[in-house]
Amino acid sequence: MYAFEFVKPATIAEAVKALADEDAQALGGGQTLIPTLKQRLASPSALVSLNGIADLKGVAVEGRELRIGGGTTHATVAREARTYPALAALAGHIGDPAVRNRGTIGGSLANNDPSADYPAAALASGATIVTNAREIAADDYFQGMFTTALEPGEIITAVRFPIPQKANYQKFAQPASRFALVGVFVAKFADGVRVAVTGASESGVFRWSEAEAALGGNFSADAVKGLKADADGMIGDLHGTPEYRAHLIGVLTARAVAAAA
């Protein structure tokens, strides 16, 4: 690593001001950023820690929505998001205990790793990503691998999750990293079903519209039997071919629906 300034603001306003400096970088749980710094793949002039900002932490039910502060750790979500069991279960299976006790939901969504779990939950839930400047619908937020609608210096202050009638997340995890080789989050609402897939596509998290249409009329595993995701654009690596990942999407979607129903 190398020398840099470390700033620990106490308020969101102080953090925004600190991030206005050229080459300043926000630091959440550091689960991605710290290894990146160690490998000298990033060289910020200053790290602005968000860990001391109380307004960024916490889980609360607001009507039919679950509001989670951007600085809330995965372990806290797993423990306190019980009004949305599928989301709590997802958080409880991210990485290992060390990762869950340091990593944050805001950091995960800001990084938008193509194999991360939270992007699938946010997209399938039709969540709203709240920043210090605006609110962004999940359908508009995710814009590709490691790419989001966030502007430089913009901080995720909270995420609002509508609570569905039924939901489940199924993940085929890479054994070492616990990232999703493929993960499928299914959420049923009164006005339809949303299905989001992570870990599979070179473009990052996406909605599987064919499955959504089939499940909208018949929310059962039988409705998606025979459906096949297109292997074009799927990730191919030492862990699996594009065709294998496309196959897993169908298998995990059926499992998620069966578990939710």
Same fold, 5-49 and 54-162: no
Rounded (5°) CA angle 125-128-131 = 150
pLDDT tens column, 104-128: 999 999 999 999 999 999 999 999 9
User: Is there a contact between 52 and 10 (Cβ–Cβ < 8 Å)?
Assistant: yes
3-class secondary structure for the chain?
A: CCCCEEECCCCHHHHHHHHCCCCEEEECCCCCHHHHHHCCCCCCCEEEECCCCHHHCCEEEECCEEEEECCCEHHHHHHHCCCCHHHHHHHCCCCCHHHHHHCEHHHHHHHCCCCCCHHHHHHHHCCEEEECCCEEEHHHHEEECCEECCCCCCCEEEEEEECCCEEEEEEEECCCCCCEEEEEEEEEECCEEEEEEECCECCCCEECHHHHHHHHHCCCHHHHCCCCCCCCCECCECCECHHHHHHHHHHHHHHHHHHHC
How sure is the predictor about 1, in pLDDT bands with cuts at 50, 70 and 90?
low
How sure is the predictor about 3, in pLDDT bands with cuts at 50, 70 and 90?
confident
> Looking at residues 134-138, what average pLDDT do you find?
98
User: Has domain 5-49 been given CATH number 2.40.128.50?
Assistant: no
Question: Would you kindly state where each structural domain of the chain is located, as residue ranges?
Answer: 5-49, 54-162, 166-259
pLDDT tens column, 181-231: 999 999 999 999 999 999 999 999 999 999 999 999 999 999 999 899 999
pLDDT of 154 > 90? The answer is yes
The per-residue pLDDT for 96 is: 92
Q: Which residues pair with 166 in a beta bridge?
A: 188
CATH of 54-162, one of 3.40.50.620, 3.30.465.10, 3.40.50.11270, 3.60.10.10: 3.30.465.10
Question: Under CATH, which number does the domain 166-259 receive?
Answer: 3.30.390.50
pLDDT tens column, 27-41: 888 887 888 888 877
Report CA-CA distances (Å) from 13 to 67, 164, 185, 220. 20, 33, 34, 47
